[in-house]
Structure 1
């Protein structure tokens, strides 16, 4: 089977991309996407991330085609360089991420919500009465407390809260309703 890369004119395709010809980008994609995906996968070791990298690489090829300089290297090599750099950046950025489990993430979210709530003040000395309500809030399950704080301190809608805590909207509504009832009992 002959190597199709010998017949393909990468430089002409990049020049056509620089001129705004979308069909040229499609030809480049058809020609090299599978190989570029292989390069990205070998570097990041994650198929979904590699696909995102190849997508981003082709966007960079499209937007940067006019800056390609044939005196600095082959057009095909330029595309591989873009992909390698994006993949290496992803690995470097991923190394900076700190992975936490769901319980730790909920605790961090609860602490941040309580800190935001503690910062709320108004002309009626809201903080002076926070002692009792603060104690009552502390008695709630952290996820339910977060839902209340997201709704009443941050002003989020039920759907926004559901998305933030990764729970169905109906569940969030019932958590808020039950939590409010628990607060009422605690405060009376």
Structure 2
């Protein structure tokens, strides 16, 4: 890698080409590019030549002061987040282009032209595993109470820290629902 790879121009080039390469979702790439364009007008020469020197928070304050606070703070914060994400993704891509995966999960590699990265495969396997585990067993928060041979009652959403007073309150409600055969309910 050359020092030229760390220039702001190369970052812009990456953001423009990332959608063609299937690295970023087009809307995400465009929003990050726009944020970089807005903030990078205040870059100093050394920062333009080496984006690793950029402190995005300082850059945002610089822009905010120069613009006489005309930029709304929420817009500036959005630019801040997007520029940080763009820098992180670009530097990650520079280190290992073959294993690149966007920090925001904004990859659009849906077609078969690209091999998914190891991280994408791992995340997909983990999600499938979680789906299998949650659908294959009874949820943990449901308690079954067999009443008779032909009837089971299910109790759901009992708190893990259920106190004795709370349990008695639930029991009183259930007792109140029972058909009274001339018996006194306590």
Q: TM-score higher than 0.5 here?
A: no
TM-score by length of 1: 0.28
Q: Counting strand residues as a fraction of each chain, which structure ranks higher?
A: 2
Larger RCO, structure (CA 8 Å, separation 6 or more): 2
Greater Rg by CA = 2
Q: Counting helix residues as a fraction of each chain, which structure ranks higher?
A: 1
TM-score by length of 2: 0.28
